[in-house]
Chain A
Amino acid sequence: MGSLLRTSLLGLALAFAACGGDAGPGEGDAPLRVALLTAGPVSDAGWYAGAYEGLLAIRDSLGAEVSHQQTRTPAEFDEAFLAYGSSGYDLVFAHGFEYQDAAMRAGEQFPATTIVVSGGGRVAANVIPFIFELEEGSYLAGMLAAGMSESGTIGMVGGVEIPPVQGTFRAFEAGARAVDPDVEILEAFTGNWDDVAAAKEAAAAQLARGADVIIHNVDAASFGVFQAVREVVGMGRTAWALGMNRDQNDVAPDVILGSAVIRIPEAFLEVALALQARGLGGEPIYEGASEGVVDFVLNPALSSRVPPDLVGSMDAARERIRSGELAVPRVPFVETESGIR
């Protein structure tokens, strides 16, 4: 599925490159200039790593000139937008809600630059929230968790308690209860995205309370969650972890049953193509299961441990989500003229 999407996008890109591109910004001979801002390291094997891969995909597919900066503090946001805006970048991916205020200011100052804020909540003509409907993948994860749990208790470890994270957890809960209405679900937040020790501690606490499947949404700190699960498995218990944001199945192939994924690279490439083709038009971008950007992938190394009928009901749910038949819970947060969406 993922490779299909990738192939089709590449084909589109090549076709586009062939016809020279004459509609959007970055026309003519000048290459498209695309920048990425992250608030964490691109070595997190997750949220930021995916964005960085997307940036490289844009470079390789579209011949774009690309640049990346990791910012460490809100005081640097304005400066980074200033640097990219004033040197004429066409597209800036600001990969996190943190950037939204500075993005709004920069959007006003640099009308020729389009800023896409992942998880952002504010809209302007050239400032566009980029919303990944990861809830749709989390719902499937919830189904798997409840189906695989022997104890009837499952856990969720989050980073900062923000709507996109809350959304994934509400969907996870809904998916779990669809399989087992009586399942007990634990929830904890560490307050940041990079404290591996805190994440491990939170996961260990849930495992101690009987949880045997744990999902996370803590970005780089997810290693701590996997480690905590691995440790109880080492002591003879049966427990599983679930990945999030990116296909993390190979990060801890012995304990990760599967991952709720955003195909961030493909989504980024699609946004860049859309900008070149027609502009982005001041509307939030939603990418979910029906676009093939969000999905749930089983770890091939452990898929034999999952009962076939559970896999079957997950596949059925996926199709119902894609067709719009099944509405997964969301926590809306994008502020538009027509209200919060």
Chain B
Amino acid sequence: MIAVRARLDGVVRRFGSVEALAGASLEVRAGEVHALLGENGAGKSTLLSILGGMLRPDAGTIEVGGRQVALASPRVAWALGIGLVHQHFTLVPPLTVLENLALGRRLQPARLGRTLTRLRAEAERLVQRTGLDVRLDARVEQLAVGERQRVEILKVLLRDPSVLVLDEPTASLAPAEVASLFELLRGLAAEGRAIVLVAHKIDEVLAVADRVTILRAGRTTFSDVRSKVDAASLVRAMVGESVTDVAAAVGVVVVASGSARAAAVGVGVGASVTVDDAARRRPGGLVATLADVRMHASVGRPALEGVTLEVRRGEIVGIAGVQGNGQRELARVLSGRSLPDSGSVQLPAGVGFIPQDRTLEGLIGDFDLAENVALALHADPRFTGPAALRWDAVRAEAERVRTRFSIVASGTKAPAYALSGGNRQRLVIGRELLVASDLLVAEDPTRGLDVAATAFVHDQLRRATETSEGPGVVLISGDLDEVLALSDRLLVVSRGRLTPVPENARTREGVGALMLGDSSAAA
């Protein structure tokens, strides 16, 4: 008999007039990895926040270890053994990783040194056991998003929770890291812990979960053990019965399962889009050139060490790599946000940029939809007078973006912080496509998105490059399946250098090896 560690039943939570949860249930058992699935905005994050004690439900019951409890604060949840790995980072950038790990612990100033030494030993053991690559003495501000996520996980694991809750832990991890994380989670489950995990990729869910629960529109619509489900049934339970949706989503599932690229292009877009393969093979004129670009990262070794790249209209140039290999700097140089230390950069006028961290860099939470759209338009003469912004025109444009990209919001006056993760990304992509008449630089554009939203983003990128008049797209992503499926040309960035991927190496294994710096795979 498997012990139920935590049980949430009939949970309701409202934000103003919006019901984020309308009767959600979840049963977490010891020794199981429990995957929580659902579209963006289905209420997954809200449910996890309630489990972590950060939000209180308006109705419903919570039991932990068989007793009904009120999770009044994160501290209470902690005391009950529930450890939550956040989707948004909670680290202090100027501190080192080790110092961040020490935060939240009861520290005595006089014994700080000894505490840190003990903590270091503990962390090192854990790092060794889990294969999480974390440099304990690096300052967090030097780390890329993927590395920061690993620190978050490490931070929670150090407190040895009996219920470990992870909100999209794989979103920014490289394939090898995903595999090792899953191994870790399985190991932790085997120790008798309960693991709850929000994931978007169905193949990941199928690979790791013992039990699957699906939320739709704030309700639990499905919950069963892994052995009784397959990809198609999960997708149907998630997105409902709409045929095109399923087709689109399944297409991505197929891609994610590692099928051939041709199939991905053909199926992935479903019935709604036709792609002229011939046109894609004939890219247009040159729109951007980097020649021998070198750049230092804010600290430490050079981030870009002689990068040369040409981008043409109507092509998708995929750049794969593990976080922290220079893709961040490359994206900024390509989008005109940073100037390199040396080398020549030629960029067109109409450049769109989808930054990696949409919450911090892509949007301003306190700004409403129109103001966020204005971020891309405030220098465009069509939307400005001599001094004033033409807000009516900007707002009309924002409304077009909202309807065209199906952003769920009360209107263009809704603040961005009220949008769900998927809708935030739709807003960023919609806005950047407005200005990307020549070049679009997309950095991890589907990070943290669900199946349908990912399909939507991919569809948008393909549509933009349908003809040789369209913009050139540079897709910088740590998601191998994504770059394999979308790219006309594929390169790998490793330690600040770009390496083209030969046709015969366009497989997960081949690219993965190149990403880790193994050039023999390219030979």
Q: Do chains A and B touch in the complex (CB under 8 A)?
A: no
User: Which A residues have a C-beta under 8 Å from some C-beta of B?
Assistant: none
User: Which B residues have a C-beta under 8 Å from some C-beta of A?
Assistant: none
